[in-house]
Structure 1
């Protein structure tokens, strides 16, 4: 049987489908990765210098400015066919990406393991802080996340601490099978792309807003180097993976822990793991099917 057809049949018959996405999923939309966003003014900094609690304490305006610049980059790109394919079905979405492309495609409640550029919070008390309204979904969708329970025992993940974007170097991104950045994405990362109003993206420090509750600076809502993953998100992800009868892993090389262990949870508990990736990855051995291709190319063919 053709692998694509076999995958489509497995997915169509799944009662509890989970889609797990990494950097390659977003790169196809033109989202610059963590280190690829270090261009222009930002090229003088190491990635780690802008992505730690210590960096924010030392220079909150510098760190806030970089993350706001990156958030605005994301607002200028669009979900691709793979995002829309995922949004068409009733499934749980777990993502390592910090953008809002799944939401804009219509997936209602993606689990953001590494936080989001669109959920800033107080650096002291943790109170959520609203940013400019996110773009509305490109099309309406009412698809609740499946949260079924089973008798299968939970599988603990490793206690490694990681950063949301450790896995997003160009080397791993290419290895994860993402297409080369488009000219537009390259311009975005270089800060030379114009906005819809014709203005260039603003680089440089920006003073973070103050928390409405305690008055302390608001921080980006992402996981920084040395920080643990959000407990609620991690527990939801493990629960979804443990209960899944089919899990599709897309655009991740599977080398950053503990997120890389999510597909293994499904496999160890008897579920079927399908990988969508143009190149081999360390996850090949736990996957029942390894489909070589990009997310935008393959997902619409297997999620119907």
Structure 2
């Protein structure tokens, strides 16, 4: 299967990566799969009995902003401190464009310029209300978090327009206040790019079936040619056999394909 994946990449006119949360696991980022996985990463929330879906709710920014910013402030610091694994560099060498549900900014840290983030980015802020459709960079914003309670302490980020509370420009659960303009502009750019490409190969990485946004995009983008490489250690199956299924993690699979392309796989 690695050899077939390498053949697809070698013959590609263009490469599109569709990445879910599994892309960041090899960089050391936590896997939020299920309540137990989330609680292993964040023991204070296990003590409180709070699941990821409950914390990723915009209502907390109004009702308990210290709780909300404790969660997102910790993640912001974590993502800033994380070094993307070498699989990102492999994809850059292949000239890939990116569609991702991840909000961690790891593709940008790895040097990618064209990243369509369907759920937004933790590295950008907006007004909680929102007072305008403005979205701005979170560079320079620091949120102190008490590691025992996972609550923010000290000043919280404020809206640069009205002075009220700011929040990450991320699509949360039941979120009617998300300012989608920044993400939509990148998605429109990606759609135009994809429609102008021939011999497109789609590499889907670490995208589960629980939240199928990334899988749907990968299947849609590869529908014409059937050139889909699905990399997933748990759920790699491809419907109707239209593609290559690799039951592997992101770094292992990408390095194996790249080694085969270079002719030094040892096979």
2:158 alignment partner, one of 210, 220, 228: 210
- What pairs up with 1:28-39 in 2 under 5 angstroms? 28-34=26-32, 36-38=37-39, 39=42
2:246 alignment partner, one of 291, 295, 300: 291
Structure 1 residues 201 and 75, CA gap change in structure 2 (3 angstroms): farther
| Aligned counterparts of 1:264 and 1:73: Cα–Cα separation in 2 | 31
Aligned to 1:79: 84
Cα deviation, residue 236, structure 1: 4.2
| Aligned counterparts of 2:81 and 2:63: Cα–Cα separation in 1 | 30
Structure 1 residues 221 and 214, CA gap change in structure 2 (3 angstroms): same
Q: Does 1:129 align with 2:143?
A: no
Contact 2:19–2:214 (8 Å) recurs in 1: no
Contact 2:157–2:165 (8 Å) recurs in 1: yes
Q: Does 1:105 align with 2:122?
A: no
Aligned to 1:232: 185
Cα deviation, residue 233, structure 1: 4.3
Unaligned runs of 5+ residues in structure 2 are 262-267
| Aligned counterparts of 1:85 and 1:279: Cα–Cα separation in 2 | 22
TM-score normalised by L of structure 1: 0.68
Structure having the higher strand fraction is: 2
1:114-142 Cα offsets, whole Å, 9 max, x none, are 112111222212322332359xxxxxxxx
TM-score normalised by L of structure 2: 0.77
SS of 2:169's equivalent in the other structure is coil
Structure having the higher helix fraction is: 2
Higher relative contact order (CA 8 A, sep 6+): 1
Farther-moved stretch of structure 1 (259-268 vs 21-30): 259-268
Structure 1 residues 282 and 300, CA gap change in structure 2 (3 angstroms): closer
Contact 2:227–2:242 (8 Å) recurs in 1: yes
1:233-285 Cα offsets, whole Å, 9 max, x none, are 44445555554611011111244244331112123223411112233445454
Cα deviation, residue 201, structure 1: 9.4
Contact 1:102–1:110 (8 Å) recurs in 2: yes
SS of 2:216's equivalent in the other structure is helix
Aligned to 1:146: none
Give the aligned CA root-mean-square deviation in angstroms.
Answer: 2.9
Contact 2:69–2:151 (8 Å) recurs in 1: no
Structure 1 residues 259 and 297, CA gap change in structure 2 (3 angstroms): closer
- What pairs up with 1:151-166 in 2 under 5 angstroms? none
Cα deviation, residue 79, structure 1: 1.0
Contact 2:17–2:96 (8 Å) recurs in 1: yes
Contact 2:21–2:31 (8 Å) recurs in 1: yes
